[in-house]
Amino acid sequence: MSSAEELVKLLSNLLQIDTSNPPGNESNAARFLRDWLSQRGVESEILEFEKGRGNLVSRIKGSGEGPSLLLLSHTDVVPADPARWRIPPFSGAVKDGYVWGRGALDMKSMVAVETMVFSEMVDRKLKGDLILLATADEEKGGSGIKHVLEKALDKITADYVINEGGGEGILAKKGWIFSIQTAERGVFWYRVRTKGSPAHGSIPGLGVNAIDRMRPLLNRVSEFKAASERVEPSWRYVESLLKMMGLVDEEAKIDNVEILLDRLTETDKGLGESAKAMLRVTMTPTMIQGGIKENVVPYECTLTVDCRVPPGYSGERVKRMIGDLFQGLEYELEFIQESDPTVSPVDTPLYRAIESTLLKQVPGARLEPTTMTGGTDSRYFRRMGIPAYGFQPLMVEGNYYDWSRMVHGDNERISIENLVFCYRVLKQVVESFMLK
């Protein structure tokens, strides 16, 4: 079997293992990977944080002359509704040049690629340790990675991490532009509560309606629109993208960024909206609850907001911003999650290895660092001072809007061409960075 055929088979098999989270059942995927590796002479182990929820870990020892590298991935996927798919989501079907299934992009293709590259390094002369970690529960609580960090940190410690969250190439007017995720926005989920007093719903004047009191708060969140900030990483990426898309001249100095971002959105909604979210604070009302019965004036209402902030924002600054937003209104504020943005440096040997490998594979391409609008497990490593890069190299087919909606959406699939491209690039990155 050629390595491409082997890779397709590995991915197809992984996609057939239903690891929808909840409930996860990732140990089924971990056991499959353990057996697959063991057939190739690589030992690995499964670390479960609860029954059926296992992380797969393995390490190939290097000579110690160079840095170590962790290849990180997750085996769980978000649920899929078969009624909405053209091909059953857990069939792992190989059809028309594509491998189909939930997780084909996020991120079992990367699990397959990393596992394959890892297994091929077992007899090579590595300068540093190469570690493979495929976690459980990334899509929900992150219990998998937390378990490993708390209970088995020594098994996965590395100088560098490669993970998901970047690496997509866009074919713009003037050539390919690839991203590498070197930062993630901060996550500040909060809840605001308004209080009223109950009364019979038929005589509303006797009570105080908490839902009515929530209305101005909800309006302010919905109307909140932060300006784009020229923060790095991301700004350089967005600037390059605008230029390569032909929306602004190569030599031009950009001063009308909002207009250009709107124009980018008109060209490709996926690219435009992602670029905006990278450069801005966003506040999304995601849940609202109020009232207990049809005929009772509601005495409490809560609104949950998903607030994300680009690098440069601290928790203090976010709290001030929220205070300003709701100024003059009565409410109680509670944070559900507070995690600062995380950033990795770009002037590292691994970054340079990634860049030079990519440019060899795709001559004339550009690589620019980006901030992920959402979050991945990379943040845990960045907090420990370990550079982590989101780099799952893929060439986006068609427009970015349709492409990006396959992730967590319907009919998720990856072309065999892209799967092999991802493998070729990552293998070369590992070889150029790790081999003697």
Residue ranges that bind Zn ion, judged by CB under 5 A: 106-107, 164
Rounded to a whole number of angstroms, the minimum distance from the CB of residue 164 to Zn ion is: 5
Residue 341 or 390: which CB sits closer to Zn ion? 390
Residue 92 or 166: which CB sits closer to Zn ion? 166
Rounded to a whole number of angstroms, the minimum distance from the CB of residue 149 to Zn ion is: 18
Residue 107 or 279: which CB sits closer to Zn ion? 107
Residue 18 or 106: which CB sits closer to Zn ion? 106
Rounded to a whole number of angstroms, the minimum distance from the CB of residue 372 to Zn ion is: 10
| Preceding amide of 67 cis, omega within 30 | no
**Which residues neighbour 232 within 8 Å (Cβ) at sequence distance 6 or greater?**
311, 369
Residue 25 or 428: which CB sits closer to Zn ion? 25
Rounded to a whole number of angstroms, the minimum distance from the CB of residue 312 to Zn ion is: 25
Rounded to a whole number of angstroms, the minimum distance from the CB of residue 184 to Zn ion is: 12
Rounded to a whole number of angstroms, the minimum distance from the CB of residue 67 to Zn ion is: 25
Residue 78 or 416: which CB sits closer to Zn ion? 78
**Which residues neighbour 19 within 8 Å (Cβ) at sequence distance 6 or greater?**
25, 26, 28, 29, 75, 76, 77, 103, 136
Rounded to a whole number of angstroms, the minimum distance from the CB of residue 138 to Zn ion is: 6
Rounded to a whole number of angstroms, the minimum distance from the CB of residue 235 to Zn ion is: 25
Rounded to a whole number of angstroms, the minimum distance from the CB of residue 140 to Zn ion is: 11
For Zn ion, the nearest residue by Cβ is: 106
Residue 104 or 283: which CB sits closer to Zn ion? 104
Residue 107 or 121: which CB sits closer to Zn ion? 107
Residue 219 or 337: which CB sits closer to Zn ion? 337
Residue type, 202: S
